[in-house]
Amino acid sequence: MKLTGKKVAILIAPRGTEDSEFTKPKQALEAAGASVTVVGLQKGRAQTVRNDLDPVAEYAVDKTITEVSARDFDALVIPGGSVGADKLRASPDTVSFVRAFFEQEKPVAAICHAPWVLAEADVIRGRDLTSYASIRTDLVNAGANWTDEEVVVDQGLVTSRSPDDLPAFNAKLVEEVAEGKHPEQAASV
Amino acid sequence: MKLTGKKVAILIAPRGTEDSEFTKPKQALEAAGASVTVVGLQKGRAQTVRNDLDPVAEYAVDKTITEVSARDFDALVIPGGSVGADKLRASPDTVSFVRAFFEQEKPVAAICHAPWVLAEADVIRGRDLTSYASIRTDLVNAGANWTDEEVVVDQGLVTSRSPDDLPAFNAKLVEEVAEGKHPEQAASV
């Protein structure tokens, strides 16, 4: 398997993470042989949504954000959902965790509203990316080069616009994790 | 009554506007004698939420955004709710409507996540304001001077952080609407 031995963290908010943007990348990584750890803000189960608002399912949190370090992983995935991404960025521990992946030159993938967390971590100056269209202004104001494409790959940073882009997002995510460290990730920190 | 003859628009998203941030300012304005028009993105009824995610109630939309002009009103209120504010900013007609209140020097009040709509309209450069803490970075990146206070009033621009601040927010809102036009509102456009 392409990603055998690779350890990947995927973030989840207590409520409001978009279900498909959590489950589909996780499945794609596991199908490629990676070990995926669900990292939450608190112990117990986290509730996902569809279309930002409608409850879908609950998932077990494997580790809380205070129990992990970026050093434990080879890559990071941040799912969207307006409320979920807003809650993730409001957690200073989470923002530090995200920033450490950039400092350690490791691949990071963010979809839909998740790039808000990258803006909060101040790691996107001069970087090419995309997102859900509504947050374009926030990302441009944070220094990013925003483009309207199903997936944008910039030296270990993988971004997409919405659940419709998941096939392209997952394919590039697996590629970037397989490649390993990308020195350019540290250049924008 | 202090606001007799004053016409105020209040925005509502199809889903995801925070219930108390819609109902309480509307009640305060009406109690002071103002006429309040509910402006939505589409005809029919709009569904509000509590704590960003839990459905609360449905309200009739009086006018859609394409049926109104800032010239029809003396002031504007923008309620929060993460999803609601995100949907409002994604509507170009709504962003133009918000911007016109600043151009016309009229009071604008925004609470919680609603200042995202002000960032989208690019009307907050050099302005003093507050918001829900999670979006502080987006507002600072858009040029605002952000402070952590229950209500900030800057020459016709009234902002607060969360539903807990509604009493202070509503009191200042009524004051600013009573005062009428504020030339400084146009200075940041």
Distance of alpha carbon B102 from alpha carbon B186, whole angstroms: 5
pLDDT score for B184: 94
- Over residues A2-28, mean pLDDT: 98
Interchain proximity A52–B86, CB inside 8 Å:
yes
Higher-confidence position of A14 and A1: A14
Mutation target for B interface from A52, A56, A148: give the one with most B CBs within 10 A: A52
CA nearest A171: which of A153, A144, A185?
Answer: A153
The alpha carbons of chain A give a radius of gyration, in whole angstroms, of: 14
Which residues make Cβ contacts (< 8 Å) with residue A6, sequence separation at least 6?
Answer: A29, A33, A34, A35, A74, A75, A177, A178
Q: What residue of A is the nearest CA neighbor of B14?
A: A53
Instruction: Mutate one of A137, A139, A148, A161 to test the B interface: name it (highest B CB count within 10 A).
Output: A137
Establish if A82 touches chain B: CB-CB under 8 angstroms: yes
Mean pLDDT across the stretch B95-115?
A: 98
Does B2 fall in a domain?
A: no
Name which of B55, B83, B113 is nearest A52 (Cβ-Cβ).
B83
Using the Cα atoms of residue A41, residue A46, residue A47 and residue A52 in order, give the sign of their dihedral.
Answer: positive
| Cα–Cα distance for residue pair B84/B122, rounded to 1 Å | 19
CB < 8 Å from A in window 50-69 of B: 52-53, 55
Whether B9 is a known active-site residue: answer no
Q: Helix (H, G, I), strand (E, B), or coil: what is residue A127?
A: coil
Query: Are the CB atoms for A152 and A8 separated by under 8 Å?
Result: no
Q: How many CB atoms lie within 10 A of CB B103?
A: 13
The predicted-structure confidence for B3-35, as pLDDT tens digits, reads as follows 999 999 999 999 999 999 999 999 999 999 999
For A174, the token pair is: 């697996």
B84-103: average pLDDT: 98
Is there a contact between A119 and B138 if contact means CB atoms under 8 Å apart? Answer: yes
C-alpha distances in angstroms, B64 versus A51, B100, B104, B108, B117? 22, 16, 20, 19, 17
When pLDDT is averaged across residues A111-129 and rounded to a whole number, the result is: 98
Q: Which two tokens stand for residue B49?
A: 């939420």
Going by C-alpha positions, the residue among B182, B186, B177 that lies closest to residue B8 is B177
Q: HSE, CB side, 13 Å, CA atoms: give it for residue B147.
A: 13
The answer to whether the CB of A157 falls within 8 A of the CB of A119 is no
- Is B86 close to A138, i.e. CB distance below 8 A? no
Distance CA A10, CA A24 (A): 11
Chain A residue numbers with beta carbons less than 8 Å from the beta carbon of B119 are: 137-138, 141
Mark yes or no for CB contact A86/B138 under 8 Å. Answer: no
**A2 domain-assigned:** no
Cβ(B110)–Cβ(B159) below 8 Å: yes
What does each C-alpha distance from A4 to A11, A36, A99, B158 come to in angstroms? 21, 11, 25, 55
| pLDDT for B103 beyond 90 | yes
**How many domains, chain B?**
1
Is residue B112 annotated as part of the catalytic site, yes or no?
Answer: yes
State the amino acid at position A71 in one-letter form.
Answer: R
Q: Classify residue A103: in a domain, yes or no.
A: yes
Structure tokens at A42: 């608190």
Q: Is B99 on the interface with A (CB under 8 A)?
A: no
Percent of chain A at pLDDT above 70?
A: 100
How many H-runs (helices) and E-runs (strands) does chain B carry? 7, 12
Residue B1 has pLDDT above 90, yes or no: no
How confident is the model over B132-171, as pLDDT tens digits? 999 999 999 999 999 999 999 999 999 999 999 999 999 9
Q: What is the per-residue pLDDT across A141-160, written as a single tens digit (0 to 9) for each?
A: 999 999 999 999 999 999 99
* CATH number of the domain enclosing A160: 3.40.50.880
Is the ipTM higher than 0.95? The answer is: yes
- Mean per-residue pLDDT over chain B, rounded: 98
The reply to whether B113 touches chain A by the CB within 8 Å rule is: yes
Nearest to B174 by CA among B99, B80, B109: B109
Q: Residue A85: which residues within 8 A CB-CB, separation 6 or more?
A: A13, A16, A17, A78, A79, A112, A113, A114, A116, A117
Range of the domain at A93: 7-183
Q: What percent of chain B clears pLDDT 70, i.e. is strictly above it?
A: 100
- CB of B135 less than 8 A from some CB of A: yes
Mean pLDDT in residue range A51-77: 98
Q: Is A55 a member of any domain?
A: yes
In the numeric block, which tokens belong to residue A116?
Answer: 């808000």
A158 SS3 class: strand
Domain assignment present for B189 = no
State the number of CA atoms in the 13 A half-sphere of B2 facing the CB.
Answer: 15
CB contact under 8 A, A137 and B135: no
Residue among A112, A144, A151, A177 flagged as catalytic: A112
- For residue B84, the chain A residue with the least C-alpha distance is A82
Q: Which phi and psi angles does A57 have, rounded to 5°?
A: -155, 170
In Å, how far is B29's CA from the nearest CA of chain A? Answer: 29
Q: Of B141, B146, B148, B162, which to mutate for an interface test with A (greatest number of A Cβ within 10 Å)?
A: B141
